[in-house]
Chain A
Amino acid sequence: MFKFALDEYVKNIWYNIISVFILAVSIIVSAIFITNLIQETKVYRLVKPYLDEKSIIINSANGIDVSLLSKVENTLMTHELFCMSDNQIGLNTCVVYTDEVMKIMPPRLLEGQLIEKVEADEDTLVVWISRNSGGLSTGDEITLNFFSATEEKTIKVKALIAGVIADGQRIFMSDTTISSNMEYDDIYCLYSHRQMGTPVVITTEDELSKIDEELYGQNKKCIVKFQENITEEERLENYFKVVDMEEATHGHSSVGTFPESEQLYENMKASVRSTIMKYVPLTFILLVLITVCIMGIVLIKNANSTEYYRILSICGMSARGAVCITGLEMLINSILSIIIAISFVELQNKYVFFGKINCRLDSIQICVMVTICLIVILLSMLITRVYMEPAKRKALQVP
């Protein structure tokens, strides 16, 4: 049966080649589409659970005890540590990513790999670094000097560079600029070493747990979300508590300089709506086109083969046999198209043929890829089964 299916496959080679290409391009297109959508909404997905019309944004949460505020539901706080390196590259910040941030907003890497994939000693901190004047890159080891939060002392830590982050991306770090017309994503820093000149290192909370001491941090930006049932009076009370704490710590308060959270929240909704709206025509195009392509592939496959299968069935081949052959052919097509799509994604990410584009094969993209292939295989098998029914066999006309 398998050999027969292969013979059939070779016999219809041109049809199969075009089908493989259509499937491969459809998979690649859906991968680009999904990756792009995920990338464009990453800050929104991170901020959404914390920002509503009642939230308060604190520019520098150092010395501010959020537990003193009433009816706090949750907080999203950047975690930045003051640190210097022995290499004289002007480093002064180490940004710490929580698991949540790593999952939703991992930094885009220019080179290197994920921190958790790098094996290092218990006393070595694995970090990513931005581009830097010292030319430090993946695999280099540096010494980072942190400062204790409790005593006046420097803590020297050996660090291994797992990768270099790309310029021009938003990282989970406070942006120093606050303006009344800022958008929700402006809360976090749009970082570029080329333009800003100062490098940063990024590490994860897991890695940081290798250091036993409490480290001195700076410029923590914090979004505080309150419970649904908070009254305006309680919110205002919290607001003034933050103002007092900020003034006590820094001598001034920044809370009032942010746009009202209600305005920020409305802007966020409008901005995301506009982003998603721009995807609607494209989603429609892709859905319709992929459906038509699948229909085309399936229909032509059956139009090509069923007449021939019917002759074979008269010669004794069961309907199940025909269904299996169709399924096997389509399986080969699907596997080939998946191989082409994966190779394309890998090659594109390595050699950047089409310029820099968002194209990754993560779990969602793989699910879509498998779904497209499964639909093609199952639909072909189903239609073959319908065409091979005994009642229809009688209608056979040998040309």
Chain B
Amino acid sequence: MKLVLINIKNSIKEYKGVYVLLIVSQLLAVIMLFMAYGIFCSYNASKQEYDESCYELSAFFSENVMMGEFKECYTEILEQVEPRLNYFFLFAKSEDYEIVTYNEYHNGRFTNSDKIYKYKRLKEGRLVTDQEINDRKNYVHGMNVGSVGDIIEIEEKMFQVVGVEEDEWLGTTIHMAITCYPDGVVLKNFVLEFEKLPTLKDYEVFKRVLENEFGEKVTIQEYKVKNEEQLIAINSIIVLSVAVGVIAALDTALLYGYIMKKRKRQMAIFAICGAKRLYRIIINEIEIFIVSLVTATIGFVIFRLLVEKIMNYVYNNTVSIYSMTAYGLMLVMYLLSIVILTTIATIIVNRKRILDMRRECSV
């Protein structure tokens, strides 16, 4: 360990400029890494959010629109948009319950939405089957709805609970197929989620049918044309943030490469004095690791105290993307990459014959 510290001290003395630059560039590389991670996450999230919003058409019902009225018109919409539709979502309220529906519609038949229910975890029981949906059985599953087999009453209609979801929050949510809704529940939200981008015609049908039926009681969200340019811009920033990491890595490699080259003489002398190859590599690696760890820690402290807040402010991150786990992972990956790369370089340097090592560093 003493030898390592002497090495660091000598290096600072001998290659002052390069060593200072090495430390500064490592410090910056760590800060850049955190910044690039922040930019990457922020843009990636907005890309996904934007992308998803282009695939839906939604309507909000502002006044008391009953399900009975809605039943008259929804099939007309579904039949028109069916080729591109993934699933539809319905949100309604009764006096005691919040009711949601995630159903698909194909060739006049309703089924559970695979996309939504694939990962649903049930505490007990099962989901309502596709057959039961089309047979209009009054079965439901949900959260905080009692136990399997219980009968619940919604707007004068009796439903049997066939499955209970794991509790994720306190509220009561019932998953119900569109085919068995009671007429008296109040409709709040109707959303079509598309597999392919909805066309202007889909939107026009959606808007026309709902506005004809409900007039001012319904608010249709504006039609969104997918802005490819915005996605390209976000993609470019993501590529940029990755490229920043590549530059930082190349720069560190260049600076360490120089130190390694200059170390050849010292390695040769160690070898002449009887130091084994493994020992020589370990001395080098411990030195690099100590320097990297110190600079990475300082970089982390500077970023955490000064830059993180700015990043969250600039990119409007409502939830901080910089968790301690994320920091830890980035630092471990950073240190590991440096150790692996420099180990390879040190092995290459130490593979040569002692005489060649000595000769190479004499000019």
Contact = CB atoms under 8 A, between A and B. Distances in A.
A169 B254 contact: no
A347 to B, nearest CB: 14
A382 to B, nearest CB: 15
Contact of B315 (A278, A290, A297): A278
Given A40-B233, A197-B199, A300 B254 contact: yes
B314 A289 contact: no
A281 B243 contact: no
Contacts of A39: 229, 232-233
Contacts of B251: 22, 289, 292-293, 296
Contacts of A288: 28, 32
A195 B28 contact: no
Interface in B338-363: 361-363
Given A26-B247, A289-B248, A292-B21, A18 B229 contact: no
Nearest to A304: B258
Contacts of B314: 277-278, 280-281
A22 B250 contact: yes
A145 interface: no
B200 A196 contact: yes
A21 B258 contact: no
Contact of A293 (B15, B200, B247, B265): B247
Contacts, number: 155
Contact of B233 (A15, A354, A358, A399): A358
5 contacts: A22-B250, A195-B197, A285-B32, A296-B21, A303-B17
A267 to B, nearest CB: 16
A36 B233 contact: yes
Nearest 3 A-B pairs (CB), nearest first?
A168-B228, A357-B236, A190-B225
Nearest to B261: A304
B319 to A, nearest CB: 18
Given A196-B199, A286-B244, A359 B236 contact: yes
Given A32-B236, A39-B229, A303-B17, 13 more contacts: A15-B258, A21-B250, A26-B247, A36-B233, A168-B225, A192-B225, A192-B226, A277-B314, A282-B240, A286-B240, A299-B17, A308-B363, A354-B235
Interface string A1-36: 000000000000011001101100110110011011
B232 A356 contact: yes
**Chain A contact patch, size range:** 35 or more
Contacts of A196: 199-200, 225
Contacts of B265: 399
Contacts of A250: none
A168 B226 contact: yes
B25 A296 contact: yes
Contact of B232 (A26, A296, A357): A357
A54 interface: no
Interface string B33-52: 00110110000000000000
B322 to A, nearest CB: 14
A356 B21 contact: no
Contacts of B64: none
Interface in B226-258: 226-229, 231-233, 235-237, 239-241, 243-244, 246-248, 250-251, 253-255, 257-258
A36 B248 CA distance: 21
A44 to B, nearest CB: 13
B247 A282 contact: no
A167 interface: yes
Interface of B is mostly: helix
B73 interface: no
B239 A289 contact: no
B18 interface: yes
A195 B199 contact: yes
A118 B265 CA distance: 64
A290 B248 CA distance: 9
Contacts of A252: none
Interface residues of B, number: 54
B227 A168 contact: yes
A311 B363 CA distance: 9
B198 interface: yes
A358 B240 CA distance: 10
A46 interface: no
B201 interface: yes
Nearest to B241: A282
B237 A36 contact: yes
Contacts of B227: 168-170, 190
A166 interface: yes
A170 B232 CA distance: 13
B247 A14 contact: no
A295 interface: yes
B145 interface: no
A358 B228 contact: no
Contacts of A179: 222
B42 to A, nearest CB: 8
Contact of B229 (A26, A168, A311, A359): A168
B311 interface: yes
Nearest to B229: A169
A32 B17 contact: no
B12 interface: no
Contact of A282 (B24, B39, B257): B39
Interface string B290-334: 000000000000000000001100110000000000000000000
A209 interface: no
A290 B25 CA distance: 11
B225 A289 contact: no
A172 interface: no
Contacts of A177: 222-223
Interface in A363-399: 399
Contacts of A299: 17-18, 21
Contact of B201 (A28, A197, A292): A197
A194 interface: yes
Contacts of A167: 226, 228
Contact of A195 (B21, B225, B243, B315): B225
